Structure 1
Amino acid sequence: MHERVPLSVDSTGVLLIRRLDSVSALLPSAPIRGRTAPRTRRRVSARRYLTVIDSTNASRSCRLSEPLTALIRTANGTCFESTPATTTPVIGVPCAGARSATWRAAPSSVAISMLAEVGAGGPAGLVTEAMARHLGDRVIGICDSPVGLGRRLARILGADPDRAWIDYVGLNHLGWVRGLRVDGRDELPRLLADPGLLGSFEEGRLFGADWIRSLGAVPNEYLHYYYFNREAVRAYQAAEQTRGAFLREQQEGFYARTKDPGTSALTAWNRTRAEREATYMSENREAAGAGDRDESDLDSGGYEKVALALMRAVARNERTSLILNVRNRTTLSVLDADAVIEVPCLVDASGAHPVAVDPLPYHAVGLVTAVKAVERAVLDAADSGSRAAAVKAFALHPLVDSVTVAERLVDGYLKVHPGLRYLDRP
């Protein structure tokens, strides 16, 4: 028997369906925009269906079926199609671009939630928590930011990133590396004691050696918005355009170039992605005087690599450890069991299991619980359609300093984004 579950899916862009190209090695033979992925050697029995509803026109809804066929209409009207023809994947990827969706999933299947580059307080954990209310532990959120940070630290310390255990804890885009163990020895104190090493990687230059030593941990890069808020705000106010506007124009330019039959889509996309990585958080780096990104800073691990590692662990029962967004259970005592957190997990065919971690220090407790309250308020607003709940979600955020500002933000978003018009209740 399949269960039928209503969900809300935030519109975050048009790239997610393209990630099927990256994960195709574990998917069945699947023509994706004219290309065919290799067949998987292993057949699995899980089935997945997804109905995606265009928030601007319900008649343009589309359905994934038999067993996974996608026609995705994104927020800007672009369509993508993927039609696997033979076996069924054990893992499905939620698709961005529509506000509401319906899942029918076999009890044995697993869903991956991944949403990239959306600023402070990323929604990967939030969307994972929304889905987990219906799918439980069968939904797992991924982000490459903590993975990339851990790999950079391991290389700086002369360790093999694949052999290092990263003690990382927090929420999506709000976490800290508190230890890095190689062969049972914590190497992070050696990093904290060496100013030269602290200045040799992106986060070290972004936050400064003194502040990292004061914390006794290396923050996720997105914590720059919190720790250096005034500097970040000034830098973004002085920018010619927002990051979102830059990405939209860049993506539209990429699609325009691929219409030329003589253009290699892969070459064009690699060039686009390289520019995107090089300009990532450039305003924050400028505010901190951190300079341009080094080649080593550009190795984030990649969403596709994290997703593939997760897929292999689940589909092939290849046990591994990954930093993932999963339900808290009893991991952090300051949050309830259903709160989605970002922590190291052991992953196998039975799913992702969070590893026990030390308690958060009080300064981190304050940020984590405040942002989790914001996420819960966002989910309440999406579920109830209440404008007041949306204002509350903004007002509670640590980066919003006034209820008046929160009201202006909601009004501004309602004017620009027609998909939010459902927020019409008190």
Structure 2
Amino acid sequence: MRLTVLGGGGFRLPLVYSALLGDRAEGRVTDVVLHDVDADRLTAIARVLADQAEGVPDAPTVSVTTDLDEALRGADFVFSAIRVGGLAGRADDERIALAEGVLGQETVGAGGIAYGLRTVPVAREIARRVARGAPDAWVINFTNPAGLVTEAMSRELGDRVIGICDSPVGLGRRVARVLGVDPDRAWFDYAGLNHLGWLRGVRIDGRDELPRLLGDPGLLGSFEEGKLFGAPWLQSLGAIPNEYLHYYYFNREAVRAYREADQTRGAFLQEQQARFYTRMASSPAGAWEQWDRTRAEREATYMAHNREAAGAGDRDADDLESGGYEQVALALMRAIAHHQRTSLILNVRNRGALDAVDGDAVVEVPCFVDANGAHPVAVAPLPEDATGLVRAVKAAEREVLAAAESGSAARAVKAFAIHPLVDSVTVARRLLKGYAAVHPGLAYLR
């Protein structure tokens, strides 16, 4: 089976390859093609993968190319993990938003909209190229903002594009650990949009264990989300929010922490990864060890500003475990390629699963997966407060899609202005002006 990775020079790619190395099942991925527009990053990551594969019998072969059509040729699956504008673009997204007093995180608020505006045109063109060059391939989208980009690609590929994210997986596993239940046996009642969802139940043999957690402040305060949100707020919600909802529920505190920090998350990652890729170019020996040290530092500092704003302290060792998006991707590929029916939380077209939005909207819900793709499971309605947030954010996403399709700067301004985390039309106009000044990828907006 042939897997093509777009954005194959990306830093997190070794996580995916690690999962592939551990897969010994019949019909596994045997050929991996890495595509990127940056040949130097491709070379660096290929060295890390070569180190990983050393001593592993029948490791999947790895080839690299900067030619998109060549990369897509013969692909059974395509992972889209691109970053339009690179980490420098992310740092600019954060800086410009914070200067206006609003959040600049890469998937949430003004930063997410800016990132979406320059990514959607590229993602749709990739989807068209996949449809022409690999019409039988399934696209698994990692590219952020994952829900928005998946919806954009679905307009070209229909249900043959599926978005994945490790946040719901990590949340479910953390909650299961605290409850002392096996996460592989649990059914997680989770619903919303990407980075805007709520865990509302953890069912084992038909029994919901989540009320036991919500009724125990000590247990609630013992894991990442409990420390971020606080036990009283989780009890008020009657659910455990995705960690990204901290940006909504504690927006003032998050913005203040970001503005007071020495550098934003994007600026930190830009510097960190620049050092890594520079070292790899000059001293490639021990590529895997160099990558792993850098990854550990990256994970330890994840959402550090939010934890600081919440007074949550450093991340616990148990919370540093990856949410397992690479395992989600592997399980998804197995289910489709070999009809191994499974259930996963995925980003897919709604088709009536969540009543808050229309059928074509991409939502993040539990799905059954088989050879015919991912089938969303109907979930109970969200409460009114959550429904309001989902509809407001989806409306902003739809304006991003409309702006990208029409090239309308007015629609782009509207996308910023109607988002719940942007509080002024005047600010929305200044945001677009600021982003257009630094992002060549927004020159299409008129």
- TM-score tier by shorter-chain length is 0.7 to 0.9
Question: What amino acid maps onto 2:184 in structure 1?
Answer: D
Alpha-carbon distance between aligned partners in 2 of 1:372 and 1:11, rounded to the nearest angstrom: 26
Per the alignment, in what secondary structure is the counterpart of residue 31 of structure 2?
coil
Rate the CA distance shift 1:13–1:145 in 2: closer, same or farther, 3 A. farther
Cα displacement (A) at 1:17: 6.0
Per the alignment, in what secondary structure is the counterpart of residue 80 of structure 2?
coil
Rate the CA distance shift 1:136–1:262 in 2: closer, same or farther, 3 A. closer
Q: Counterpart of 1:64?
A: 69
Alpha-carbon distance between aligned partners in 1 of 2:71 and 2:260, rounded to the nearest angstrom: 50
Cα displacement (A) at 1:184: 1.1
Would you say the 8 A contact 1:147–1:300 is kept in 2? no
Per the alignment, in what secondary structure is the counterpart of residue 183 of structure 2?
coil
Structure whose residues are more often helix by fraction: 2
Per the alignment, in what secondary structure is the counterpart of residue 280 of structure 1?
coil
Would you say the 8 A contact 2:228–2:307 is kept in 1? yes
Structure whose residues are more often strand by fraction: 1
Alpha-carbon distance between aligned partners in 2 of 1:374 and 1:419, rounded to the nearest angstrom: 19
Q: Counterpart of 2:168?
A: 146
Question: What amino acid maps onto 2:256 in structure 1?
Answer: R
Cα displacement (A) at 1:106: 4.8
Would you say the 8 A contact 2:75–2:134 is kept in 1? no
Question: What amino acid maps onto 2:29 in structure 1?
Answer: L
1:205-224 to 2 correspondences below 5 Å: 205-224=227-246
Deviations 1:160-198 (A, max 9, x none): 111111000000000000000011110000000001100
RMSD across aligned positions (CA): 2.4
Cα displacement (A) at 1:21: 3.0
Would you say the 8 A contact 1:374–1:396 is kept in 2? yes
Alpha-carbon distance between aligned partners in 2 of 1:39 and 1:403, rounded to the nearest angstrom: 57
Q: Counterpart of 1:406?
A: 428
Rate the CA distance shift 1:195–1:393 in 2: closer, same or farther, 3 A. same
Cα displacement (A) at 1:300: 3.3
Q: Counterpart of 2:403?
A: 381
Q: Larger relative contact order (C-alpha < 8 A, sep ≥ 6)?
A: 2
Cα displacement (A) at 1:263: 3.1
- Alignment of 1:353 with 2:375, yes or no, is yes
Q: Counterpart of 2:199?
A: 177
Q: Counterpart of 1:112?
A: 140
Would you say the 8 A contact 1:344–1:355 is kept in 2? yes
TM-score, normalized by length of structure 2? Answer: 0.78
Cα displacement (A) at 1:40: 8.9
Would you say the 8 A contact 1:145–1:300 is kept in 2? no
Alpha-carbon distance between aligned partners in 1 of 2:264 and 2:71, rounded to the nearest angstrom: 41
Deviations 1:258-283 (A, max 9, x none): 12445311111111111111111111
Q: Counterpart of 1:93?
A: 79
Rate the CA distance shift 1:39–1:336 in 2: closer, same or farther, 3 A. farther
Alpha-carbon distance between aligned partners in 2 of 1:414 and 1:381, rounded to the nearest angstrom: 14
Per the alignment, in what secondary structure is the counterpart of residue 175 of structure 1?
strand
Alpha-carbon distance between aligned partners in 2 of 1:66 and 1:368, rounded to the nearest angstrom: 36
Would you say the 8 A contact 2:261–2:305 is kept in 1? yes
Would you say how many aligned residue pairs link Structure 1 and Structure 2? 372
Q: Counterpart of 2:158?
A: 136
Rate the CA distance shift 1:11–1:420 in 2: closer, same or farther, 3 A. farther
Deviations 1:323-379 (A, max 9, x none): 000000011122111000000111111111111110111000100000000110111
Identity of aligned residues (%): 64
Rate the CA distance shift 1:421–1:316 in 2: closer, same or farther, 3 A. same
**Which residues of structure 2 form unaligned runs of 5+?**
1-5, 22-27, 35-45, 85-121
Question: What amino acid maps onto 2:138 in structure 1?
Answer: V
1:125-274 to 2 correspondences below 5 Å: 125-261=147-283, 263-274=285-296
Cα displacement (A) at 1:66: 7.0
Question: What amino acid maps onto 1:337 in structure 2?
Answer: G
TM-score, normalized by length of structure 1? Answer: 0.82
Alpha-carbon distance between aligned partners in 1 of 2:8 and 2:428, rounded to the nearest angstrom: 21
Would you say the 8 A contact 1:168–1:175 is kept in 2? yes
Question: What amino acid maps onto 2:200 in structure 1?
Answer: R
Deviations 1:282-339 (A, max 9, x none): 1110110111100111123232111111111111211111100000001112211100
Rate the CA distance shift 1:66–1:334 in 2: closer, same or farther, 3 A. closer
Q: Counterpart of 2:317?
A: 295
Alpha-carbon distance between aligned partners in 2 of 1:353 and 1:392, rounded to the nearest angstrom: 32
Q: Counterpart of 2:355?
A: 333
Question: What amino acid maps onto 2:141 in structure 1?
Answer: S
Rate the CA distance shift 1:335–1:260 in 2: closer, same or farther, 3 A. same
Per the alignment, in what secondary structure is the counterpart of residue 312 of structure 2?
coil
Question: What amino acid maps onto 2:318 in structure 1?
Answer: S
Q: Counterpart of 1:422?
A: 444
Question: What amino acid maps onto 1:21 in structure 2?
Answer: Y
Question: What amino acid maps onto 1:94 in structure 2?
Answer: S
Per the alignment, in what secondary structure is the counterpart of residue 428 of structure 2?
helix
Alpha-carbon distance between aligned partners in 2 of 1:17 and 1:382, rounded to the nearest angstrom: 28
Would you say the 8 A contact 1:24–1:30 is kept in 2? no
Would you say the 8 A contact 1:179–1:186 is kept in 2? yes
Per the alignment, in what secondary structure is the counterpart of residue 259 of structure 1?
helix
Would you say the 8 A contact 1:113–1:140 is kept in 2? yes
Rate the CA distance shift 1:261–1:183 in 2: closer, same or farther, 3 A. same
Question: What amino acid maps onto 1:388 in structure 2?
Answer: A
Per the alignment, in what secondary structure is the counterpart of residue 333 of structure 1?
coil
**Which residues of structure 1 form unaligned runs of 5+?**
1-9, 42-51, 53-60, 69-87, 116-121
Rate the CA distance shift 1:299–1:16 in 2: closer, same or farther, 3 A. closer
Alpha-carbon distance between aligned partners in 2 of 1:208 and 1:199, rounded to the nearest angstrom: 7
Question: What amino acid maps onto 2:351 in structure 1?
Answer: R
Would you say the 8 A contact 1:142–1:303 is kept in 2? yes
